[in-house]
Each structure stands twice: as C-alpha cells, then as structure tokens.
Amino acid sequence: MNIGKKLKQWKGWGTCLKPAYEPIIVARKPFKGSLVNNILENSVGGINIDECRVENENINGGTTPVEYEEHTGRFPSNVILTYNEEDKEEVCGKLPTTKKNGSINKEYSKTQNVYGQYPPTKKWEAYNDKGSASRYFYCAKASKKDRDEGLDIFNYDVTNDGRNTPPDNPFQRGLTLRKNIHPTVKPTELMQYLVRLVSPKGATILDPFMGSGSTGKAVMYENKENNSNYKFIGIEKEQEYCKISMARIQWVIEHVKEKEEQISFDSIINQGE
C-alpha cells in the first residue's frame, strides 16, 4: 500500500472546525417544594432580570432607549454575542437591520377567557431605535488588554497556546505574543454578566475549573463596581495557570477603584426633610 499517495489525497482536510459557538449550561440539583420556597430558603434559583437587561447600544444608529417606570433595557435573551473590537462589524454588522417595535397607542380591554377578565392594556411606547439586530442581545467585548492585565510581573512571553500544536490547529488562536498562555480565556465582561445573572449579592462563586481566573477576576470587578460582596473559590490543577489566575485577580483588587456612590441634589434635599 502506497501510504504517501493515500495521505496526499487528504491534504487540506482536518478533524474539527473553529470553535466559534460555546454553549452555556444552566443546571441545578433537584429540590423539594416550590421554586419560590427554594429561592427563599437557599437564595439560589432565580435569574436577575432587571440587573442584566440589554442596554440599547446600537451598532448602526438609533436613539436613546425609552425609560420606563420600573426598568430600562430589553429583556435578556438566552443568546449572548462576544467579539474582539476588530471583529465587531463581522459579528454585528452581518445581522439583519430592523426598525423599531410597534407601540400601543391606546388602552383596550382584553376579552375574558379561562383565566378570567384581564385588566385593560396600558399604553406602551416602543424603543424608538433601528439598526443591527444585535441590539436585542447582550454583547460582551473581549480585548487583548483584558487577557494579559496584571501579568507584567511575569518575565516571559509565548507565541503559542501552551501546547505543542501546529499553527493550523483551531485551538492555536494564532501566533500572538502573550503572557496569558491559557487557550480558552473568557472575556471578563462576559463572566461578570453571567455571575450577576444568577447570583444574589453576598453569594459564594465556585469555579471548579478556574483556568486563568476569568471568573475570579469578574467577581472582583463586580465587588468593586457594584458593591456585590461576592466570595470566590477557584480550583485549578495546573500550577502555571494558578499563578496567572492569582495575578489577574490580585490586579483588580489593587488597581480598580470602587464605584463612588452618586448622591443627587434631590436626594440631599429629601434627606434634609
């Protein structure tokens, strides 16, 4: 058998595609009783909708979102977009362009059904925006700065992903000089969003596969920016990744300032009363 000839006919073939889609699984152990009782007893199981609404940041034009009495921002979706700044147009610009949603201009009564008589429908003003359909989804922006932030203490730079892989391997991520050698670094902004989505303030966040510490870094950012008082526990078997994680997390603790509480003139007047 001519092995060389056999191999030649498969030149340009491979065994996997570029990992462009990463599913996020939300799961919980079975519990007794109702969902409400479980949340009240264990402080877990809910989804923080209002704190994770999608801001109306348009890619291709639009206006400021309508501010409602209870919230501002679109209801969060189970799809999240992430991109580097150079890939923004590729990710968001290729989605369909849509116009504003329809508003409800007058109140009307709904017909009675098996659930009884509904109250009249209130007027509702739609978001007066248009542009890329990406505005319906939360978009987490990744950056090279985020990846290597806090790692100046290390005196090495590498041009691979920490493994002996050929350049055409989809996990190679290109031959880029970097200090964070973990192959699948998650954007801190994305991890902040996910932590905030399911964890009430004061919760303990456990990451059993810590990698380069993106979750821990995100927790520290949330504590600084939103006074969340989270505790973090990270587990990682690779000692080299543990060093990177500790440096990235410690950098946030030492360099990121806590958000100053904004006190409006009105609130000062009310306190005086």
- How many Cβ atoms are within 10 Å of 227's Cβ, its own excluded? 11
**pLDDT value at 67 more than 60:** no
Same domain, 134 and 152: no
Same domain, 158 and 231: yes
Look up the pTM and report it: 0.73
Q: Across residues 137-159, what is the average pLDDT?
A: 78
Q: Does residue 159 lie in a domain region?
A: yes
Q: Does residue 9 lie in a domain region?
A: no
- The more confidently predicted of residues 28 and 69 is 28
CA distance readout (Å), 140 to 81, 88, 92, 123, 188 = 6, 11, 12, 33, 9
Q: Across residues 182-195, what is the average pLDDT?
A: 91
- How many Cβ atoms are within 10 Å of 62's Cβ, its own excluded? 18
* Sign of the dihedral defined by the CA atoms of residues 165, 166, 169, 173, in that order: positive
Q: Is the CB of residue 142 less than 8 Å from the CB of residue 192? A: no
Same domain, 208 and 244: yes
Pairing of strands 80-84, 138-142: parallel
Q: Does residue 155 lie in a domain region?
A: yes
Q: Across residues 41-65, what is the average pLDDT?
A: 72
Question: Among the three residues 107, 123, 142, which one is the final residue of a domain in this structure?
Answer: 142
Q: Does residue 172 lie in a domain region?
A: yes
Q: Does residue 24 lie in a domain region?
A: no
* pLDDT tens, residue by residue, 69-119: 455 788 899 999 887 777 777 777 778 887 766 677 777 776 666 767 777
* pLDDT tens, residue by residue, 210-226: 999 999 999 999 999 99
Domain count across the chain: 2
Q: Does residue 194 lie in a domain region?
A: yes
Reported as a pLDDT band with limits 50, 70 and 90, residue 164 is: very low
Res 131: pLDDT: 79
Res 210: pLDDT: 95
Q: Which of 31-40, 90-99, 165-174 has the highest mean pLDDT?
A: 31-40
221's tokens = 């950012």
